[in-house]
């Protein structure tokens, strides 16, 4: 039986060449974000964002929730996958980075599908529950400050309809989750969340060893 395949640069390039359906808007957004070297690691991989778009289509999601916008790459990909009348609500607290996002959303023609909420994400999620009620979203993507992942997960699960999907990024967190010496708050929060997901009978889960770890949690009907 084959084990987990190590993905070197040559194989990574092959995966992108064989699967990535790219265009100038996405390439330009990645290039602009890459010009901020200290923050480039915050950008989702293009093949991961394409996978998120596929999940939006596969689940038939009309109302999508994103926690963590940054420069808007994953938002753009998911918004493109929405059906007519669909909406993506995305939460961030940085006006600087989301100004870049807004520019590319407009260029891609999806700005009218995206509702950007600039505030503390936890507070925004509470407000969305008050505004729309529990079970009002079909899919949620969490990719924000790691220390608050356990909180965001619970809030998103409340906002998610039965049968909906939560997708959590960075659940392997640079491999630090398996390193006993890593005791920083972010790593410990991801470890706590991973253990909670493993034991949470409200959801069916799969932790995928792709990118920096991607966990799918399907809320049971």
Q: What is the pLDDT of residue 37?
A: 65
Which CATH number belongs to the domain containing residue 213 in this structure? Answer: 3.40.50.150
Residue 2 lies in a domain: no
Supply angle C-alpha 45, 211, 109, rounded to 5: 25
What is the domain range of residue 202?
9-38+45-219
- Looking at residue 2, its pLDDT comes to 64
User: What are the average pLDDT values for consecutive 10-residue runs of the chain, which has 221 residues?
Assistant: 78 92 95 78 89 98 98 97 97 95 98 98 97 97 96 98 98 96 96 97 96 96 93
119 in any annotated domain: yes
Whether 146 and 186 have beta carbons less than 8 Å apart is answered as yes
């Amino acid at each position: 039986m084959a084990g987990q395949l190590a993905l070197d640069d040559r194989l990574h390039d092959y995966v992108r060449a064989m699967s990535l359906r790219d265009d100038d808007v996405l390439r330009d957004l990645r290039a602009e974000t890459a010009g901020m070297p200290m923050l480039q690691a915050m950008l989702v991989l293009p093949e991961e964002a394409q996978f998120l778009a596929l999940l939006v289509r596969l689940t038939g999601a009309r109302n999508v929730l994103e926690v963590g916008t940054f420069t808007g790459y994953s938002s753009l990909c998911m918004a493109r996958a929405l059906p007519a009348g669909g909406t993506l609500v995305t939460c961030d607290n940085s006006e600087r980075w989301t100004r870049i996002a807004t520019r590319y959303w407009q260029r891609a023609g999806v700005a009218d599908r995206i509702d950007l909420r600039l505030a503390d994400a936890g507070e925004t999620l509470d407000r969305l529950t008050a505004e729309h009620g529990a079970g009002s979203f079909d899919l949620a993507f969490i990719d924000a400050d790691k220390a608050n992942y356990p909180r965001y997960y619970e809030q998103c699960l409340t906002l998610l309809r039965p049968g909906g999907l939560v997708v959590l990024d960075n659940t392997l967190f640079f491999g630090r989750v398996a390193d006993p010496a890593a005791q920083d708050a972010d790593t410990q929060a991801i470890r706590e969340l991973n253990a909670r997901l493993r034991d949470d009978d409200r959801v069916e889960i799969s932790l995928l060893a792709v990118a920096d770890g991607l966990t799918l949690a399907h809320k049971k009907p």
